[in-house]
Amino acid sequence: MALPTDSTQPRLAPGCRWGANGEDKVLLFPEGALRLQGTGQKIVELCDGQRTFAEIVAELQAHYNSNAGEIRDDVAGFLEQLKQKRIVDY
Amino acid sequence: MLPNPLALIAEVTHRCPLHCVYCSNPLQMTAANLELTTQDWVRVFHEAAAMKLLHLHLTGGEPLARADIRELIAEAHTVGLYTNLITSGIGLTEARLVPLIEAGLDHIQLSFQDSREDSANWIAGTRAHAHKLELAQIIRGNKIAFTVNLVVHRQNLDHLEEMIALIETLNPDRVEIAHTQYYGWALENRASLMPTREQLENSVQVIDAARRRLEGRIRVDSVTPDYYARYPKACMGGWGQRLMLIDPAGKALPCHAAGVIPNLQFDNVRERSLQWIWQESSAFQHFRGESWMQEPCRSCDRRTQDFGGCRCQAFLLTGDAAATDPVCSLAPTHHFVEATLLQMNTERLPISKPVSISSQQQAAHENASQSAASWLYRINPA
């Protein structure tokens, strides 16, 4: 399974979209739904097919003001998981 | 407080151009003239959205048999439901598909009966395979999430690799390989459908290999046959916990097969709101929670994981809907399942495989296969 590279442009996979369940924003996909909060939600919101992985990391780093290397590894791992579930494509 | 369900399964009709021998529809089907109207369904979708349900699974029968399917999808989409169309594809052309996508359809699930045309048509009881192949190309050419569903059993498991290879050429986002579950017509045909242990073990390896090979391209999901499992499936995520099914006439059921259980009172969306049914309907309350459980479920650590298994299967195989699902190795009635499996694995039951035949020979062949395999095709409602 490939991790995203700097130029990767992650996007929501086909059949995956945001929906609302009350106050919470949920990610809907064919066989289920994922309730994302905080950083997880923020990451997926940035996966618009336009921003590159490097840009997403930079934005998150600016937002959370933390170590770039750590954020990079965390985001890469998270996106890889979502790709495996076919929620995000890149 | 009882959380609302996550999804609504709308069995919008029992009419279907296919006659699949493993169909999970009840043996007693709803006649066309008793089906809910468009307005009834629209009201149900509005109520479901107000209850914050997320998914709507439009199924049947063949949901495309309803002339108002586009309108149903459009209404469901407008109120915010994620719409999934579970279809045989019969009746679907590009001219009909595009308006469904434009109406907001999120996902389409197309079933295949086999990779080999003669066998696929034999299982479906009609010539559908060639059309499905054509339609799969059309679906893929449009912007919609696409799952292919393969129902597997004794008659097609020996070429599962070939089936997966065919599906790979169709390039869906996801393939679901589902072992037949034994309800409705499938239970009637169990002797012809139950895989052998050898077939099952081989299929597990084939599916694992496919999952690795297709990783990142096509997601492979599989449903295992519970007769061979050590513990039962967590049927419907627990009775009356996550899902609600509305049958074509508006009857609200906790699952597809619940109608087989005697003495359950099912309420109808024509008379009651969805919210009332979810909270108050006696059928939904009957096996909700744990108070109905008998031993060994009552004191079993697994009761919060599998909820004692499937109530319908318990009734169908033991006559007691509150019994532990007999597929469970801990069930006092597990010997029923063991005896069935022993028979399926030792007696070589006649399997009447279709051979390549000309259309002139078709009729004669159909007569011959009926007598050899004691197949019971799903009939259509009046």
User: Which strands form B174-179's sheet, in the order they lie side by side?
Assistant: B219-223, B174-179, B145-152, B107-112, B82-87, B55-59, B7-11, B243-246, B252-253
Pairing of strands A32-35, A24-29: antiparallel
**Separation of alpha carbons B17 and B88, rounded Å:** 8
Closest-CA residue in chain A for B242?
A32
- Which residues have CB under 8 Å from B26's CB, separation 6+? B184, B256, B257, B259, B260
Which amino acid does the sequence have at B177?
A: I
| Percent of chain B with pLDDT strictly greater than 90 | 87
Nearest chain A Cα distance for residue B345, angstroms: 34
Contact: A30, B143; criterion CB under 8 Å: no
- Close Cβ partners of B278 (under 8 Å, ≥ 6 residues apart): B2, B4, B5, B51, B240, B244, B284
Which chain A residues contact residue B214 at CB under 8 A? none
Beta strands in chain B (DSSP E): 7-11, 55-59, 82-87, 107-112, 145-152, 174-179, 219-223, 243-246, 252-253
Report in angstroms the alpha-carbon separations of B313 from B11, B59, B149, B257, B260: 20, 22, 23, 9, 10
Set of chain B residues whose Cβ sits within 8 Å of the Cβ of A13: 145, 173
Question: Among B74-78, B213-217, B279-283, B352-356, whose mean pLDDT is lowest?
Answer: B352-356
Local structure of B353: helix, strand or coil: coil
Interface size A-B, in CB pairs within 8 Å, comes to 53
pLDDT bucket at A31, cuts 50 / 70 / 90: confident
The one-letter code for the residue type at B244 is M
- Residues B192 and A81: their CA atoms lie apart, in Å, by 40
> Of residues B347 and B205, which shows the higher confidence score?
B205
The stretch B12-35 carries a mean pLDDT of 95
Q: Stretch B253-280: mean pLDDT, rounded?
A: 97
Strand B55-59 relative to strand B82-87: parallel, antiparallel, unpaired?
parallel
Q: Which of B80, B36, B82 is nearest to B56 (CA)?
A: B82
In A10-49, which positions are buried (b, 16+ CB within 10 angstroms) versus exposed (e)?
bebbbbbeebebeeeebbbbbbebeebeeeebbbbebbee
Q: Which residue of A has its CA nearest to B80?
A: A19
Question: Is the pLDDT at B205 greater than 90, yes or no?
Answer: yes
Q: What is the mean pLDDT of residues B48-53?
A: 96
Residue B6 has pLDDT above 90, yes or no: yes
Give the per-residue pLDDT at B215: 86
Q: What is the pLDDT of residues A72-83, one digit of tens each?
A: 999 999 999 998
Q: Which of A4-8, A36-40, B34-38 is predicted least confidently?
A: A36-40
**Residue in A22, A30, A84 nearest the CB of B145:** A30
Per-residue pLDDT averaged across B137-147, rounded? 95
Residue A55 per-residue DSSP state: H
Percent of chain B with pLDDT over 70: 93
Full 3-state SS string of B157-190:
HHHHHHHHHHHHHHCCCEEEEEECCCCHHHHHCH
Q: What is the pLDDT of residues B53-99, one digit of tens each?
A: 999 999 999 999 999 999 999 999 999 999 999 999 998 999 999 99
Q: Note the pLDDT of residue B1.
A: 82
pLDDT tens-digit readout, B302-313:
999 999 999 999
Mean pLDDT for B132-146 is 96
Which residue, B71, B82, B83, B85, is CA-closest to B39? B71
Residue with tokens 């598909």: B97
Q: Does B106 touch chain A (CB under 8 A)?
A: yes
Q: Quickly state the pLDDT bin for B360 (edges 50, 70, 90).
A: very low
Minimal Cα distance from A34: which residue of B? B54
Residue B91's pLDDT is what? 87
B54–A21 CB contact, under 8 Å? yes
Q: Is the pLDDT of residue A68 over 80?
A: no
* Interchain contact, B55 vs A21, CB within 8 Å: no
Query: Which of B326, B321, B297, B128 shows the shortest CA–CA distance to B226?
Result: B326
CB atoms within 10 A of CB A80: 17
Cα–Cα distance between B132 and B146 in angstroms, integer? 13
pLDDT score recorded for residue B349? 62
Predicted pLDDT at B358: 42
Q: For the residues B328-338, what does the mean pLDDT come to?
A: 96
Nearest to A30 among B52, B80, B147 (CB): B147
- Which pLDDT does position A2 carry in this prediction? 79
Helices (H) and strands (E) in chain B, counts: 15, 9
Say if the Cβ atoms of A19 and B216 lie within 8 Å.
no
Q: Does B143 touch chain A (CB under 8 A)?
A: yes
CB within 8 Å: A1 and B174: no
pLDDT surpasses 90 at B361: no
The answer to whether the Cβ–Cβ distance between B216 and A84 falls below 8 Å is yes
The rounded distance, in Å, linking the Cα atoms of B120 and B187 is 19
Partner residue facing A28 (CB), from B82, B143, B146: B82
Q: Does B219 touch chain A (CB under 8 A)?
A: yes
Mean of all residue pLDDT scores within chain B? 92
For this complex, say whether ipTM is above 0.85: yes
Q: Are strands B107-112 and B82-87 parallel, antiparallel or unpaired?
A: parallel
pLDDT per position as a tens digit, A9-20: 999 998 999 987
Q: How many residues does chain A have?
A: 90
pLDDT in tens, B185-204: 999 999 899 999 999 999 99
Q: Considering CB atoms only, which of B6, B82, B173 is closest to A86?
A: B173
Distance from the Cα of B338 to chain A's closest Cα (Å) equals 32
Q: Is the model's pLDDT at B322 over the cut of 80? A: yes
Interface test with A, best of B84, B107, B110 (most A CBs within 10 A): B107
Closest CA to B378 of B188, B244, B210, B224: B188
Judged against a pLDDT cut of 50, whether residue B364 lies above it is answered with no
Across the range B339-362, mean pLDDT stands at 66
Which residue in the set B54, B145, B147 is minimally distant from A19, CB to CB? B54
Q: What CA–CA distance (Å, rounded) separates B13 from B86?
A: 12
Exposure string (b/e) for B87-124, b if CB count within 10 Å is 16 or more?
bbbbbbeeeebeebbebbbbbbbbbbbbbbbbbbbbbb
**Burial class of residue B271, CB neighbours in 10 A (0-12, 13-18, 19+):** exposed
Give the per-residue pLDDT at B365. 47
At residue A16, the pLDDT reads 94
Mutate to test the interface with A, among B4, B54, B175 (most CBs of A within 10 A): B54
Q: For residue B242, what pLDDT band results from cuts at 50, 70 and 90?
A: very high
Of residues A66 and B176, the one with the higher pLDDT is B176
Say if the Cβ atoms of A85 and B219 lie within 8 Å. Answer: yes
- What's the rounded mean pLDDT across residues B135-140? 97
